[in-house]
Structure 1
Amino acid sequence: MNPMYDFIQRNRVLAKIEKAQHSKASNLALDDFDLYTLPDVLLTCLNLSSLNLGHNRLTSLPTALFKLKNLQNISLEYNSLDKFPEVLQDLPHLKTLNISHNPIRNLAPIGNLVNLEVLWCNSCCLSSIPEEIGKLIKLDTLGARHNQISNLPKSICNLEKLRWLTLEDNKLHMLPKRFECLQELVHLNLNKNNFSYIPVQLTKLKNLRYLHLQSNEFYSIPELVINNMEYVKINLLQNPLSSSQDMDKLFPNLVLPGKELEYTLDDLPLDSDSSSDDWENSLGSSQLNYSLSESDSDEEEVLIEIPKLSKYLVTF
């Protein structure tokens, strides 16, 4: 990295942290600063509730991160974490965690984050989700796209408050037997997996409204199952099956192959990376909207003051 660029970046970070500390800010965005480590002064910002560290080069988190006891939201997406940061277990109020796009591979310690409501772990090289996931009984939103998951743990059925679940682009072909216990589930995305049938458990989810099965292995339409799901919008685009006008009339809730050109993102608001008026809390991964902080609105002021140099000017 260019030494001058490195110098400027580091001091921009220190200036932002100093400003957040002085104003007792609750939000701080330090994304996209090429950080390898976090400066110690960050741990003095005791009023922080949201911290965005995405798009850096972090390989670990400081063990003293537990000092930020008020943290409720933290984004670590697009870093270089190769294992789950155990220090997160020491943040008692953590509600939202984004660790997407890190080569973590194993989420085993996740069970200790019992207050989590939102978890993003997309593109983490996961081959499985641990049984510990079942301890997160407050979980509302879970995103695990673009991994190599072939089976779901039985304990996922304990997440009775779960409303939004995306497992797009994995290797799933079946669901746990007790999946019907997820009675609050509204949005389920199973695009780009290996399903050749609609699991019967889904017919028992009375709050389910959106089911994505695009790009799976459906060769025929399971009419008996779909008859019990007339209230669910089911996306079957890009499957190896053919449809007819009669089928369209019989099952108006289906989005069938051959209709791709007739649908835009507005027509299919529940595409995996878009939000929806019908699902106000649905977010694509890497779109957690707590990255803006009080200091961001004064970014130009911070940059103007850099020649003065932060009183915390050090190398880290």
Structure 2
Amino acid sequence: MGQNLTSEIKHLNETRARTLDASSRGLVTIDASIPPCPNLIELNLSNNKISSIPSILLKDFASLRIVDLSYNSLKTIVPEIAMLQNLMKLSLVCNQMTTIPKEICQCTALIELNLNDNEVSFLPDNIGDLELLRKLYVHKNHLKSLPDSIGNLVSLIELDVGDNDLSELNVNIFGCSDLRYLDASNNTISNISGEAIKGLNRLTCLNFGGNELTELPEEMSQLVNLKEFLLYENKFSYFPRVLTNLWNLEILDLNNNEIKEVPMQIAAMLSLKNLSLAANSIRNIPKELSVMTHLQQLNLQENPLVSALQAVFQYNENWKVIEAVFMVLSYGNASKGAKEFLEELEKLKEQFRKQKETEENL
């Protein structure tokens, strides 16, 4: 296989081509005798069985900007990775890496680093040196904490640390003031520091699902640009009131908590389009829900509801909006699917239409 790559690279040098796709070749090793390729800017070695990258390869391919080593058998990256001063995107998804060398943070041109699905237990302390980094993905690893220098990633817009062993977010994360997307799902976080959150007012998507949260800090109300907030599978016993201050929120998922009631202040969330409250302990629905004219999907499945549909919709005359709502209800153990709901809703609509006609004729 090394010989095949050697001949390909010789051809690339002759033609001055700038990309090499050697993915899915069954490669186990990379021959250190491969000739230099100074023009190469993109190298794809994904989906092979490579267990190590020879240092000489990194020294002789210094022009590389994009490197894809995902789906291999790498356990680490050699320190010579620092030679790739032009490197902008590096993917190491689905390898067997347990450590990330600090030298990777000398690749200061990096804008995207993907370490998803490895066995990394900590990030380099100098990760903050990557001041141009915009996307950092460390999903499904073994992180127990984030380094203090995380707050120096001033260009970061996407951070995924879901499916790790985090019990808290490093308070220094507030320094990532340009962050738009943060996934911290499926960890063991029981508390969110208000100090950590208050500087992240550009966030549009926040995922804390699958944690151990019981409350949210008041500083959460400063996330005025938040569009999607996922809080499923936590330990909330009440609907966090601070959420009602998020007027631009469009998607809210509180499925699988221990919430007993929905506050009437929910009516202030006029931008909400998708509200998921399935698998809680909700018995009654506030009539204020009926004024939420942007609502398109409401999921109340697996709740012990006792209030009738009229309690929700009797004050709402905008039937076009109501017809657009997809709602799954559960009365005790008897589930009602969307079709049955819409049939019942149609009957209610006709009932209220006749009632309104009668009132107008009086």
Give the TM-score taking structure 2 as reference length: 0.63
Q: How far off is 1:79 after superposition?
A: 1.4
Give CA-to-partner distance per residue, 1:283-309, whole Å, 9 cap, x none. xxxxxxxxxxxxxxxxxxxxxxxxxxx
Identify the residue that residue 273 of structure 1 maps to in structure 2: none
Identify the residue that residue 242 of structure 1 maps to in structure 2: 281
| Change in CA separation of 1:162 and 1:254 when aligned onto 2, cut-off 3 Å | farther
Identify the residue that residue 201 of structure 1 maps to in structure 2: 219
- The one-letter code sitting in structure 2 at the alignment partner of 1:246 is P
Query: Is it true that 1:34 corresponds to 2:53 in the alignment?
Result: no
For 1:15 and 1:33, how far apart are their aligned partners in 2? Answer: 19
Give CA-to-partner distance per residue, 1:33-62, whole Å, 9 cap, x none. 110112434543333211111111112223
Q: How far off is 1:250 after superposition?
A: 6.3
For 1:256 and 1:195, how far apart are their aligned partners in 2? Answer: 21
Taking only aligned residues, the RMSD between alpha carbons, in angstroms, comes to 2.7
Identify the residue that residue 100 of structure 2 maps to in structure 1: 84
Q: How far off is 1:11 after superposition?
A: 5.0
Q: How far off is 1:230 after superposition?
A: 3.4
Identify the residue that residue 272 of structure 1 maps to in structure 2: none
Report how many residues are paired.
254
| Change in CA separation of 1:249 and 1:20 when aligned onto 2, cut-off 3 Å | farther
Secondary structure of the 1:78 match is coil
Q: How far off is 1:114 after superposition?
A: 2.1
1:24 to 13, 18, 24: 18
Q: Where do 5+ consecutive residues of structure 2 fail to align?
A: 20-40, 259-279, 304-325, 329-362
Identify the residue that residue 157 of structure 2 maps to in structure 1: 140
| Change in CA separation of 1:13 and 1:103 when aligned onto 2, cut-off 3 Å | farther
For 2:167 and 2:291, how far apart are their aligned partners in 1? Answer: 33
Secondary structure of the 2:242 match is helix
- The one-letter code sitting in structure 1 at the alignment partner of 2:105 is Q
Between stretches 117-126 and 234-243, larger displacement belongs to 234-243
Give CA-to-partner distance per residue, 1:148-169, whole Å, 9 cap, x none. 1011111111111111100010
For 1:11 and 1:263, how far apart are their aligned partners in 2? Answer: 61
Identify the residue that residue 258 of structure 1 maps to in structure 2: 301
Query: Is it true that 1:159 corresponds to 2:199 in the alignment?
Result: no
Q: How far off is 1:94 after superposition?
A: 0.8
Between stretches 34-43 and 212-221, larger displacement belongs to 34-43
- The one-letter code sitting in structure 2 at the alignment partner of 1:135 is N
| Change in CA separation of 1:13 and 1:184 when aligned onto 2, cut-off 3 Å | farther
Query: Is it true that 1:172 corresponds to 2:172 in the alignment?
Result: no
Identify the residue that residue 209 of structure 2 maps to in structure 1: 191
Contact 2:299 2:327 in 1 (8 A): no
- The one-letter code sitting in structure 1 at the alignment partner of 2:256 is Q
- The one-letter code sitting in structure 2 at the alignment partner of 1:162 is L
Query: Is it true that 1:57 corresponds to 2:73 in the alignment?
Result: yes
- The one-letter code sitting in structure 1 at the alignment partner of 2:181 is W
Secondary structure of the 1:226 match is helix
For 2:182 and 2:298, how far apart are their aligned partners in 1? Answer: 20
- The one-letter code sitting in structure 1 at the alignment partner of 2:68 is N
Contact 1:143 1:167 in 2 (8 A): yes
Identify the residue that residue 105 of structure 1 maps to in structure 2: 121
Q: Where do 5+ consecutive residues of structure 1 fail to align?
A: 1-7, 265-316
Q: How far off is 1:86 after superposition?
A: 1.9
Contact 2:300 2:327 in 1 (8 A): no
Give CA-to-partner distance per residue, 1:193-234, whole Å, 9 cap, x none. 111223322111111111000111122223x32331232121
For 1:173 and 1:257, how far apart are their aligned partners in 2? Answer: 25
Q: Which gives a bigger RCO, structure 1 or 2 (Cα 8 Å, sep 6+)?
A: 1
- The one-letter code sitting in structure 2 at the alignment partner of 1:200 is E
Q: How far off is 1:88 after superposition?
A: 0.8
Secondary structure of the 1:227 match is helix
Larger radius of gyration: 2
Give the TM-score taking structure 1 as reference length: 0.72
Identify the residue that residue 291 of structure 1 maps to in structure 2: none
Aligned-residue sequence identity (percent) comes to 24
Secondary structure of the 2:141 match is coil
Contact 2:79 2:101 in 1 (8 A): no
Identify the residue that residue 310 of structure 1 maps to in structure 2: none
Contact 1:235 1:255 in 2 (8 A): no
Contact 1:31 1:55 in 2 (8 A): yes
Q: How far off is 1:31 after superposition?
A: 0.8
| Change in CA separation of 1:118 and 1:36 when aligned onto 2, cut-off 3 Å | same
